[in-house]
Amino acid sequence: MTTAKPIDVRDRLIVGLDLPSVEAAEAMIARLGDSVTFYKIGYQLAYAGGLPLIRKLADAGKKVFADLKLHDIDNTVARGVESIASSGATFLTVHAYPQTMRAAVDGRGGSALKILAVTVLTSFNDADLQEAGYRLGVSDLVQARAGQAKAIGVDGLVCSGEEAARLRRIVGAQLALVTPGIRPAGSASGDQKRVMTPTQAIAAGADYLVVARPVVAAADPKAAAEAIVAEIAQALG
């Protein structure tokens, strides 16, 4: 994937269906209507029976980001990716360990599925990495993994807005940058430690913005989504 291909402004917003049931997710999708074209299905919904929703959304013309963050032995990752590739998902995440990324690229084969490598979770900071035994801080580890991802041939990176500008210089237009931890001005940061507004993230070079709670927990989710899309459009000029 390259950023040279134009991305529809509405597709740049990925709404996270971080909800406890398929019924709650389907109700939210109905409320959002045509204001949202791209959805994320992560652990909470996937483990609540939400994986078949990928195909249902794809068949309805929506794009789906399967945020499953795979990381296991090579064969397990490759076969898991192979299964997701037949689901209709647009994006799938794996952790940015070299062996895992190589297995994921192998598993997706000639399918249209795009592999995104998660560099460092946006809920982590330098102290968290040190506690986990890493010798590198967030910035250095993210950049090292970005270079490996580009060489291996994944399609994009998941990174915070804080790293987007540096990573764009490393990967150029070859990889898409998908940025979680997006909080519109005035929103609570929650458990995220590296956050940006939509305007800041787009200015930093992000291609796609992942937003969950500021949309799905809003009093008017459709209006919240429309406001973010409008802010993205304005940031793009």
Cross-strand bridge partners of residue 95 = 118
CA-closest candidate to residue 156, choices 170, 176, 139, 141: 176
Q: Is 228 exposed, middle or buried (0-12, 13-18, 19+ CB in 10 A)?
A: buried
Give the pair of three-digit tokens for residue 7: 């991305």
Largest CA distance in the chain: 46
Task: Decide: 196 and 162 in contact? Cβ < 8 Å.
Answer: yes
Q: How far apart are CA 213 and CA 5, in angstroms?
A: 29
Query: Kind of pairing, strands 63-70 and 38-41?
Result: parallel
CA-closest candidate to residue 197, choices 231, 146, 147: 231
Q: How far apart are CA 101 and CA 118, in angstroms?
A: 10
84 Cβ contact list (under 8 Å, min separation 6): 54, 66, 68, 92, 113
CA-closest candidate to residue 73, choices 109, 97, 47: 97
Which residues are known to be catalytic?
69
